[in-house]
Structure 1
Amino acid sequence: MSEPLDSDLATIVDAFAATGVPDWHTLSVESARELEDDVFAPDRDTAVRYTRDVEIDGPHGAVPIRAVRPAVGGELPTVVFYHGGLWALGSLDSVEDICRDIAVRTPAVVLAVDYRLAPEHPFPSGLDDCISAYAWARDNVDAFGGDRTRVSVAGTSAGGNLATGVARFCRDGDIPTPDRQTLLYPMIDDDRTRDSYTENESGPLLSRGAIEHFWEAYLRSPVDRANPYVAPLRGDQSGLPTTTVVTAGHDPLRDEGVAYAETLDATGVDTTHQHYPSMCHGFLSLTDGVAVADEAMDAVADRIVD
């Protein structure tokens, strides 16, 4: 890390630490989910035309989706969005604010996906739900004024892993590949020997211990570690869509995100890497109080759709 933590961000991090909230992995899964939903409870300050909740049929049962439509006329591009939370935490409520922000700034119809969570539903259940939601959007997003021919995927953290997994599945199969993939501080590989894991072992906002704990909860067995749908950095990147990767200097996941951007670019994928050395994991959820995060979100919105 060449820059200290941004002063605006440090104020928020210190206030969060002062509450005495324990690390996610030290709690039961149920308690960690309640804490995540409480911390990221939507304030809904970003005005949109409407949100609508629907359920679609997936391979493992119903998959809830929340559509966010900005107050803009005409047919809009679509972003299918996958929340973070280490594959085990997060909900439609905890991700609504960032989806509203993306919908308004882009503008686009944003479809947030409430995929199945580990450990009750380990890989590939959540990814199966994400693929089903994307395929459904390709056929049905016009119900919300979205353009079925312009559909991209995006996600934060573990959701970034799922977003690129969806793009990979489409490339390998017969579903139209997303126009773009936007990966915000993504979980890309479980190799924790990289420098960023040592430099940011205790966070802020995401610790090495939490990552290690929930990686184990997500996997069915050690064999899954070699699966490129689990660890995308280990797979063939050719043919993947135009990509934006966002990384943060004070994030344990920094170096794997950097490596993925470099690998995509070297493979010939049109790749933009936005790195913010003074930021930490999750900073794009803090646009109201952190000027750098606000600017970064504008840059994301500029590239998230064609």
Structure 2
Amino acid sequence: MPAPLHPDCLTLLEMIRAAGRQPLETMETAPARAQFAAGRLVLQPPPPDVAEVRDLRLPSGIALRLYRPLGCAAGDILPCLIFAHGGGWVFGDLATHDHLARSLANASGCAVLAVEYRLAPEHPFPAAIDDYAEAIAHAAANAPALGIDATQLAVGGDSAGGNLAAVAALMARDGALPPLRFQMLLYPVTDMAQGHDSHARFTSGLPLTAAGMRWFRDRYAPQQAHWPDWRASPLRAATLAGTAPAFVLTVGHDPLCDEGRDYAQRLEREGVPVAHLHVADLLHGALTMGAIVRPALDLIDAAGLALRRALA
């Protein structure tokens, strides 16, 4: 049995009930996106100050946002985390994860380059990973102009973004992307089959349920033939050996919990240095709910510290 939810999570669930929020699986894409974006305004604390924020675009038109942490000088060359936001490949943008990106920059002392990849269902698999990979290659090729060190690159993201980061780490190992020093996987999606026990445990009463994950998957990867592809399901890769050292966060009340734990365990078995932090009393999405779920702020600091140490 999972540990009881943290009291802040119970407060959050009561707020969701009072607001009459609809389950994802009952909604069309456009109103579901609006519901997600509105919720972030309530759930996130005010954005912390950073030294610099710069809006950029890839040659393809994909929007990027570069954050430089407090305390850095204008000419400092910094390590960089290329960050992919969560939202089931269907929701999210630079604005919904602005607080998290700023906080990770300050906690790590690294630059953070956030990527607003194309969303499904308009742009299904593998559009998101194609965009994210383009951003990583662009960061390495344009490091001097960005004020970053091309030899000190990391990838990371939450949920669907963690999926993209894990895939990018495999691509970098295989030479399809520049070398990476670190991968930060925050309650990641690792297996499109959704057959782990935690999908059966969490079927109602949470912001993300097993039915909600199926709703996301059916928009991002509607063709079942794509599910075993390691670019969709990095847990299905033949080997994880040789990928960058990892920080993996899992939370107890999450249909993705068991596949994230399996990924961390496989990394360790296959010789990849990994720190796995499991927080039994929190729920999926907590890192972007810090105004209500206060332990999330400590977890952001922990992830940032892991990044700082890896790129020191």
Q: TM-score range by the shorter chain?
A: over 0.9
Q: Does 1:252 align with 2:255?
A: yes
What displacement does 1:278 show?
0.3
Aligned-residue sequence identity (percent) comes to 35
Does the Cα contact within 8 Å between 1:44 and 1:96 map onto a contact in 2?
A: no
Cα distance in 2 for residues equivalent to 1:257 and 1:121: 25
Partner deviation per Cα, 1:76-114 (whole Å, 9 max, x = no partner): 211100011111111111111110110111121111101
Instruction: Go from structure 1 to structure 2 and tell me whether the alpha carbon gap of 1:3 and 1:292 turns closer, same or farther (over 3 Å shift).
Output: same
292, 295, 304: which one pairs with 1:292? 295
Say whether the 8 Å CA contact 1:163–1:181 is kept in structure 2: yes
- Answering whether residue 88 of structure 2 is matched by residue 89 of structure 1, we say no
Partner of 1:127: 129
Higher relative contact order (CA 8 A, sep 6+): 2
> Which among 182, 192, 195 is matched to residue 197 of structure 2?
195
Deviation per CA, 1:224-282: give whole Å up to 9, x if none: 11101111111121111101110000001000000111111111111111000001001
Query: Once structures 1 and 2 are overlaid, which stretch shifts more, 195-204 or 247-256?
Result: 195-204
Q: Report how many aligned residue pairs link the two structures.
A: 303
Query: Is the 1:115–1:129 Cα contact (8 Å) retained in structure 2?
Result: yes
Determine if contact 2:248/2:260 at 8 Å carries over to the other structure.
yes
| Counterpart position of 2:27 | 27
What's the CA shift for 1:44? 4.2
Query: Partner letter of residue 175 of structure 1?
Result: L
Alignment partner of 1:114 out of 103, 113, 116: 116
Q: Distance in 2 between matches of 1:125 and 1:187?
A: 16
Structure 1 residue aligned with 2:10: 10
CA distance in 1, matches of 2:5, 2:45: 25
C-alpha root-mean-square deviation of aligned residues, in Å?
Answer: 1.7
1:64 matched residue in structure 2: 63
Structure 1: which 5+ runs fail to align? none
Deviation at 1:123, TM superposition (A): 0.9
CA contact (8 A) 1:248 1:276 kept: yes
Distance 2:35 2:6 in 1: 25
Q: Alignment partner of 1:226: what SS?
A: coil
Alpha-carbon deviation of 1:174?
A: 4.4
* TM-score normalized with structure 1 length: 0.94
Instruction: Please tell me whether the aligned partners of residues 78 and 141 of structure 1 are also in contact (alpha carbons under 8 angstroms).
Output: no
Within the candidate set 213, 217, 220, 1:218 is matched to 220
* SS of alignment partner, residue 117 of structure 2: coil
Q: Distance in 2 between matches of 1:301 and 1:46?
A: 14
Decide whether the 8 Å contact of 2:172 with 2:243 is kept in 1. Answer: no
